[in-house]
């Protein structure tokens, strides 16, 4: 590893397979002897876990859009300290969702104004920016079917089709380099085709990391 670790974020709509791919990559890093930490948003702190229950449990109290965004920010601010410590220790960090999800779900999905939400994120995380976001994407119908096949849907997954179409459109817009230039707090975003079985998609994830940082992740290709 370099002196500072790499922050790699997995993003995408519900059911696209990002959590599965993150878990697969974690196993591959273990096998290759590459040190890493793995986190999810919201969660992985005592505060974040309580916020997660409020935001995702379909039986929880109603949450207004602005409150929803600020709860995500509070959990993110708490988790950011753990992320910074891992990166400073030279460890890779695999993160399930970050600020790009806020763009997709709270700004595009809920219709919140971009400027104040971006300002809230700066307050929450300061200069912490992903080194790479892997944006998994596939047809919305396929993703929705995958989400339903898991069983009980959480509060976000239960939103209507119009909401999920807005979210999907926002995620796809983030794959455009011009969008990334206008939103530097998100960092570089690379779209990964999530159509295929777990290992097929996983090979695309591995290839993206090896191509960007061969000195760090070349052992992924050696352990194929």
- Residue ranges of the domains in the chain? 7-222
Q: Evaluate the CA torsion angle 33, 88, 189, 43 in order and state its sign.
A: positive
Residue 1 is predicted with a pLDDT of 44
Q: Rounded CA gap, 120 and 193, in Å?
A: 31
What gap in Å lies between CA 165 and CA 200, rounded to an integer? 26
Q: What is the architecture, at CATH level 2, of domain 7-222? A: 3-Layer(aba) Sandwich (3.40)
Determine phi and psi for 202, rounding to 5 degrees: -60, -35
pTM score of the predicted model: 0.92
The tens-digit pLDDT sequence of the chain (224 residues) is 447 899 999 999 988 999 999 999 999 999 999 999 999 999 999 999 999 988 887 666 788 999 999 999 999 999 999 999 999 999 999 999 999 999 999 999 999 999 999 999 999 999 999 999 999 998 877 767 776 676 666 777 778 889 999 999 999 999 999 999 999 999 999 999 999 999 999 999 999 999 999 988 887 766 55
Q: Is 211 exposed, middle or buried (0-12, 13-18, 19+ CB in 10 A)?
A: exposed
Q: Strand locations in 47-124, DSSP E?
A: 92-96
């Amino acid at each position: 590893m370099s002196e500072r670790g790499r922050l790699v974020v997995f993003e995408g709509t519900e059911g696209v397979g990002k959590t599965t791919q993150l878990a697969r990559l974690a196993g591959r890093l273990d096998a290759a002897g590459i040190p890493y930490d793995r986190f999810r948003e919201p969660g992985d702190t005592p505060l974040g876990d309580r916020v997660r229950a409020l935001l995702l449990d379909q039986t929880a109290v109603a949450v207004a859009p602005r409150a929803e965004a600020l709860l995500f920010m509070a959990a993110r601010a708490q988790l950011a300290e753990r992320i910074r410590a891992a990166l400073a220790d030279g460890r890779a960090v695999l993160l399930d969702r970050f600020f790009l999800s806020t763009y997709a779900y709270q700004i595009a999905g809920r219709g919140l104004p971009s400027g104040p939400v971006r300002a809230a994120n700066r307050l929450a995380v300061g200069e912490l920016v992903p080194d790479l976001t892997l944006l998994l994407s596939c047809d919305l119908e396929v993703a929705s079917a995958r989400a339903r096949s898991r069983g009980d849907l959480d509060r976000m997954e239960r939103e209507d089709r119009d909401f999920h179409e807005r979210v999907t459109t926002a995620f796809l817009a983030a794959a455009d380099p011009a969008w990334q230039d206008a939103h530097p707090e998100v960092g570089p975003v690379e779209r990964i085709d999530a159509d295929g079985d777990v290992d097929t998609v996983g090979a695309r994830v591995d290839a993206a990391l090896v191509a960007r940082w061969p000195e760090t992740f070349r052992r992924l290709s050696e352990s194929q």
